[in-house]
Structure 1
Amino acid sequence: MAKKKILVTETALRDAHQSLIATRMPIEDMLPILDKMDKIGYHSIECWGGATFDACLRFLNEDPWERLRILRKNLPNTKLQMLFRGQNMLGYRHYADDVLEYFVQRTVANGIDIIRIFDALNDIKNLQVAIKAAKKEGAHAQVAISYTTGPVFTHEYYVEYAKRIADAGADSICIKDMAALLTPSETYSLVKEIKKAVDLPIQLHTHYTSGLASMCLLKGIEAGVDIIDTAISPLALGTSHAPTESMVAALANTDYDTGLDLVALSEVREYFMTLRKKYIDSGLLDPSMLATDVKALIYQVPGGMLSNLLSQLKQAGKADQLTAVLEEVPRVRKDAGYPPLVTPTSQIVGTQAVFNVIMGERYKMCNDQFKGLVAGKYGTTPVPIDPEFRKKIIGDEPAIDCRPADLLEPELDKLRAEIPEWIEQEEDVLSYAQFPKVALDFFKKRRDKKIGIDSKNADLENKIHAV
């Protein structure tokens, strides 16, 4: 067998800390190690997108665009990668095409090389504009298959979707196992079939929740996977990913050697061990998040969704009902057309399951997001929704069967006109587009901070002139 170098994407700066500490790693915790990470020789470092954008503005008082520029400056030799929710961008609704295209343009201009694009429903209609926009800007357009299980999710389903992804112009495909549902044997056979059907590089992304990730990566590599997602060991395991160093060691001196240096990786590990201790001591990292939990295979619930469900139940004083909610999730998912459980559908289905349990009557209360999912506002579900169920949830409201974004008017100019006094950089309108209230709060804090600094500088100048 011919030798094949396996490429590695490091997730420590995005998905690893999103999975373990709710995306709370600030840029100052990243800066000291970036130089060493840049010298490792990773295929890419995933460092932006997903929930990082929201977390920067909402919790960390950081401008996500400035974070990206800092990362680009300090990682000059490494490709930077982001996660992008198709027509949802980084928010939780569908956006007009003009906003999406401008977002992609500014993303690439600020330093992103690889855009991993996915749709929560695996609806190719919701990906086409994002793929074209990424390629127009010269970025690598990787499209992710949201992997899940259920009656419709056969190998034929995934192979057909992979073919549609290739036809849409993607540069590579990622099998995105966000809920850790893959098993080693399933990984091997699925990768084999997709590889046979499409001539594109395949990247494998899976989480350690069920304890199978390393084995899945190894079997995937044997079946033809080209690139793997891993996390440096202090931020690996549990709801995160397989450890980078362990996978590098497992593949060393084989036909799949990564070529990465374990000594150099150990230096990166030392830094993140210190960081991990800080996060545990502060309570930010709950050590239980690092444990294996096969409930993922039983209830098909991603780790992040699991903690979110428990949080909702605690707020309602119903924490003892978690098992009932976990049993309700698959039933709601079936009613809603078997959506894969990934942002935003995981939140939508999970919240509805909580409502069903705590109200004591199924669908007595439905929020707008669940109604929107059933109405087709997020796209076409993998399985058609029963017409009677749809009528029960949305009444006589007409269902949407086209691409939802086709119903949206261009909105970029309108958004700009809403916040002229707050725009300090071109990208601010995009922050506002995705998180209007959160972005405005951030803009106000930014201005207050700037006024404070200007005031201090003026006082200093007055003192100097007075001398």
Structure 2
Amino acid sequence: MTELRLVDVTMRDGNQSLWGATGLDTAQMLAAAALTEACGFRAIDFTSSSHMAVAVRYFRDNPWERIRRMHAAMPTTPLQFITTGLRFIAWQQADPEFMRLVYRQLQRDGIGRFVLLDPMHEVPAVIDAARLVKQEGEAEVMCALTFTLSNIHTDAFYADFARAVGQSADIDLFYIKDPSGLLSVDRARTLVPAVKAAIGNRPLEIHAHTTIGQGMLSSLEAAKLGVSAIHVGIGPGGDGSSLPEANRMLANLEEAGHTVAIDKAALARLTQYWTRLAAAEGLPPGQPQNFDASFLRHQIAGGVMTTTARQLDELGLSDRLGAVIAETEQVRAELGYPIMVTPFPQMVMSQALFNVIGDRRYAQVSDQVVRYCLGKFGKPTSPIDPQVLAAIMDRPRARELEHEPTFPALADLRRQFGVHLSDEEFLLRAVMPPEQVDAMQAAGRSRAGYTPQAAPMLALLRKLAAQPQARDIVIERPGFRLALHAGAAA
């Protein structure tokens, strides 16, 4: 058996799957950098344009600074950026020259690996994006085969897509990405060999979520079949709707006779750090999941399900959740089986909710569903039901969105925002609300240092500082005294 590698997803996909992408800030990630570097991971699933937006919006952290500092702290482990291709933060497909600048800046700041995920599996879109990445740097490019269950997404479908994309010399490797945890052991036994036969000697990795308890077993089966790397979450950042937990995966791989290139002592130290952080910050750790066959039908991600259940509860309609889930299956089929990966799960389930609580089906339709039907997210893999398409498009809003402005050209955006801006600031201002970027800049450099043990004390101090009457605060313990007097510390 060949030596396997592990890819750590804790900071991006684990954070997104378990903590709504808002669980970790720059300081907390930087505190894990040296520990992560010592482990010897194949790569770190680190960020995306959505995560960059979260850094600005929720933490006032500069996402470019985050990438630079993390790369400096762990220079030998590639930082991975996942993208749908020609989009950056905004929903619209961007001007290719704008995306060229995005890919250039990401590589300048330290991104060493790109995942190109096109939910529609459009070959030209992936190849065009890969070409831009390679023209602007030396990062690896990995093509995603995004797994789902439908009449369309057969082993032959994925093999044909991989074979077509593999005609491009700009694609270095592939991975099977299973965002909903739907890949069974039996399906892995047919899918992995079919894809490997199509891609030749290029590496194939596996990224299987554990949402319904299958990710560990399907990843172990993929290891038997010759994948080069398995994606895992560390400690509390694994399991649940995240990826298989790293320590258990390592033990299972070794039990099966595999050799895994990882420093076990370093992994233990990293696991301890994330465990302490999750406890200190109140972040719920992922838990092993029981198999739930209903997911094979509706394919709704856990976060979207939770949000919809909360919305129904707020409306006093919590008893309609079952009807919404059933409607989700029908809406997905009518819309041509979009893969339930962002933004499509939110789009499909929201439409199902409208259909259930409205006067009639498709009486209310979101702008995103209209844009989907207009082809603004790409060509649906399977044709949209003609009657549903007619019902959606026969409304004034559809005609407005059909003629809405396209993403401006790079030169026009430069004139709009001024040529004096740095590329980093320009790229954020071109796609984000100005007040959010202003607040990020006013906040300055991200806070330095993070210790999980200090988190409760810092939380207490923040609460006290918010009280107008708390002008003087003194904290004492044996061998320690902290005095805060009207904004000054001693």
| TM, length-normalised to structure 1 | 0.87
Match in the other structure for 1:6: 4
Q: Is the 8 A contact 2:429 2:437 kept in 1?
A: no
Q: Give the aligned residue type for 1:156.
A: A
Inter-CA distance 432–188: structure 2 relative to 1 (3 Å threshold)? farther
Q: Give the aligned residue type for 1:121.
A: M
Deviation at 1:292, TM superposition (A): 4.0
* Distance in 2 (alpha carbons) for counterparts of 1:179 and 1:93: 25
Match in the other structure for 1:192: 193
Superposition RMSD in Å: 2.5
Q: Is the 8 A contact 1:48 1:81 kept in 2?
A: yes
* Distance in 1 (alpha carbons) for counterparts of 2:330 and 2:158: 23
Moved more, 319-328 or 12-21: 319-328
Q: Give the aligned residue type for 1:198.
A: I
* Distance in 2 (alpha carbons) for counterparts of 1:177 and 1:446: 34
Match in the other structure for 1:323: 322
Match in the other structure for 1:303: 302
Q: Is the 8 A contact 2:304 2:346 kept in 1?
A: yes
Instruction: Using the aligned pairs only, state the percent identity.
Output: 26
Q: Is the 8 A contact 1:248 1:262 kept in 2?
A: no
Deviation at 1:96, TM superposition (A): 1.5
Match in the other structure for 1:174: 175
Paired residue secondary structure (1:180): coil
* Distance in 2 (alpha carbons) for counterparts of 1:353 and 1:146: 23
Deviation at 1:319, TM superposition (A): 3.2
Q: Is the 8 A contact 1:120 1:344 kept in 2?
A: no
Q: Give the aligned residue type for 2:412.
A: K
Q: Is the 8 A contact 1:18 1:51 kept in 2?
A: no
Moved more, 84-93 or 139-148: 84-93
Match in the other structure for 2:232: 230
* Distance in 2 (alpha carbons) for counterparts of 1:449 and 1:219: 48
* Distance in 1 (alpha carbons) for counterparts of 2:258 and 2:9: 20
Paired residue secondary structure (1:115): strand
* Distance in 1 (alpha carbons) for counterparts of 2:291 and 2:422: 44
* Distance in 2 (alpha carbons) for counterparts of 1:202 and 1:112: 20
Deviation at 1:443, TM superposition (A): 2.4
* Distance in 1 (alpha carbons) for counterparts of 2:361 and 2:289: 33
Match in the other structure for 1:21: 19
Q: Is the 8 A contact 2:239 2:286 kept in 1?
A: no
Q: Give the aligned residue type for 1:17.
A: N
Paired residue secondary structure (2:174): strand
Paired residue secondary structure (1:48): strand
Paired residue secondary structure (1:59): helix
Could you report, residue by residue, the CA deviation over 1:428-452 in whole angstroms, capped at 9, with x for unpaired residues? 2222333x22xx122221454469x
Match in the other structure for 1:378: 377
Q: Give the aligned residue type for 1:36.
A: L
* Distance in 1 (alpha carbons) for counterparts of 2:171 and 2:308: 34
Inter-CA distance 333–109: structure 2 relative to 1 (3 Å threshold)? same
Match in the other structure for 2:435: 441
Match in the other structure for 2:45: 46
User: Unaligned stretches of 5+ in structure 1?
Assistant: 452-467
Inter-CA distance 447–431: structure 2 relative to 1 (3 Å threshold)? closer
The 5 Å alignment of 1:105-116 reads 105-116=104-115
Q: Is the 8 A contact 1:39 1:77 kept in 2?
A: no
Q: Give the aligned residue type for 1:433.
A: A
Match in the other structure for 2:69: 70
* Distance in 2 (alpha carbons) for counterparts of 1:311 and 1:242: 27
Q: Is the 8 A contact 1:84 1:90 kept in 2?
A: no
The reply on whether 1:150 has 2:144 as its aligned counterpart is: no
2:217 pairs, out of 194, 215, 218, with 215
Deviation at 1:126, TM superposition (A): 2.6
The 5 Å alignment of 1:78-117 reads 78-117=77-116
The reply on whether 1:265 has 2:259 as its aligned counterpart is: no
Paired residue secondary structure (1:167): coil
* Distance in 2 (alpha carbons) for counterparts of 1:254 and 1:359: 53
* Distance in 2 (alpha carbons) for counterparts of 1:315 and 1:64: 34
Aligned residue-pair number = 435
Q: Is the 8 A contact 1:248 1:257 kept in 2?
A: no
| TM, length-normalised to structure 2 | 0.83
Match in the other structure for 1:345: 344
* Distance in 2 (alpha carbons) for counterparts of 1:322 and 1:253: 42
Deviation at 1:89, TM superposition (A): 3.4
* Distance in 2 (alpha carbons) for counterparts of 1:179 and 1:332: 18
* Distance in 2 (alpha carbons) for counterparts of 1:290 and 1:296: 16
* Distance in 1 (alpha carbons) for counterparts of 2:241 and 2:255: 29
Q: Give the aligned residue type for 1:271.
A: Y
Paired residue secondary structure (1:19): helix
The 5 Å alignment of 1:358-373 reads 358-373=357-372
Moved more, 301-310 or 146-155: 301-310
Could you report, residue by residue, the CA deviation over 1:388-439 in whole angstroms, capped at 9, with x for unpaired residues? 3322211399x9xxxx9xx957522222333339x753112222333x22xx
Match in the other structure for 1:252: 254
